[in-house]
Amino acid sequence: MNEQAKSISLLDRVIHEPGRLMIVALLSGIDEADFLYLLRETDLNKGTLSSHLARLEEAGYVEIIKTFRKKVPQTRLKLTRAGRTAFHDYRRLVRQALAQ
90 to 5, 6, 7, 72, 95: CA distances (angstroms):
14, 13, 10, 36, 9
pLDDT in tens, 34-44: 999 999 999 99
Q: Could you give all domains of the chain from N- to C-terminal order, each with its CATH number?
A: 3-93 (1.10.10.10)
pTM of the model: 0.91
CB-based contact 53:77 (threshold 8 Å): yes
pLDDT at 26 over 90: yes
